[in-house]
């Protein structure tokens, strides 16, 4: 029996390693398609909140594909995932708190222009 055959018999994860090439290529194509869909979506005549929701979901899908496949979280120990998500949760919580604080009417600076309707709606949608 050759060395390669012996090694394959002793390593059940070997076929996974071999097939990763095509997994990566397929995921990259999927990410490119999702990016294209996002660009097309901003020109569609739908209600604003539905488009915002769609964009956030599509970005989240791209984000998850990259961290779990390209960054190997799917195959690594779960502690790596926990560690990274601690940072993510803290960052997300900080963003949410800041947007809530500065999104309120009372925090509007006196020097701000009176025409703040469009940007206000912009951030309201986000928060």
Partner 1 sequence: MSSHAAAATIDHHHDPTTSTGIPNKKLLMWAFLASDCMFFGTLISTHLIYRLHPPAGNPSPRDVFDVPLTSFSTFILLMSSLMMALAVNAIQKGNLKSMRFSLLTTAFFGAIFLGCQVFEFNNFVFEKHMTITGSILGTTFFTLTGTHGTHVAIGVLWLCLMYVRSFKSAEPQPGDHPWLGNILHAVALIAMILLGMKLVLSFVWGFQEHGFTGGTFGAVAGAQWAVIAGLLVCFGALRWFAGQSGPVQFDQHNAIDVETMGLYWHFVDIVWIVIFTAVYLLEYL
Q: If 0-12 CB within 10 Å is exposed, 13-18 middle and 19+ buried, where does residue 15 land?
A: exposed
Q: Does residue 1 touch partner 1 according to CB under 8 A?
A: no
Query: According to the binding rule CB under 8 A, does residue 37 interact with partner 1?
Result: no
Work out whether 68 is an interface residue with partner 1 (CB under 8 A). no
37, 45, 106, 123: which one contacts partner 1 (CB under 8 A)?
Answer: 123
Q: Give buried/exposed letters for 17-56 (b at 16+ CB in 10 A, else e).
A: eeeeeeeeeebeeebeeeeeeeeeeeeeeeeeeebeebee
Please say whether the beta carbons of 64 and 74 come within 8 A. no
Question: Please, what is the minimum distance in Å from the beta carbon of residue 124 to partner 1?
Answer: 9
Q: Which of 17, 37, 45, 106 binds partner 1 (CB under 8 A)?
A: 17
Q: Which of 3, 37, 45, 106 binds partner 1 (CB under 8 A)?
A: 3
77 binds partner 1 (CB under 8 A): yes
């Amino acid at each position: 029996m050759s060395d390669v055959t012996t090694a394959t018999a002793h390593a059940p994860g070997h076929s996974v390693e071999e097939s990763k090439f095509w997994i990566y290529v397929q995921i990259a194509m999927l990410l490119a398609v999702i990016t294209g869909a996002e660009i097309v979506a901003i020109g569609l005549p739908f209600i604003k909140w539905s488009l915002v929701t769609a964009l956030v979901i599509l970005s989240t899908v791209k984000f998850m594909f990259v961290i779990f496949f390209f960054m190997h979280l799917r195959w690594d120990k779960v502690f790596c995932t926990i560690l990274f998500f601690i940072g993510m949760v803290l960052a997300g919580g900080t963003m949410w708190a800041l947007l809530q604080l500065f999104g309120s009417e009372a925090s509007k600076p006196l020097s701000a222009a009176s025409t703040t309707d469009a940007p206000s709606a912009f951030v309201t949608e986000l928060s």
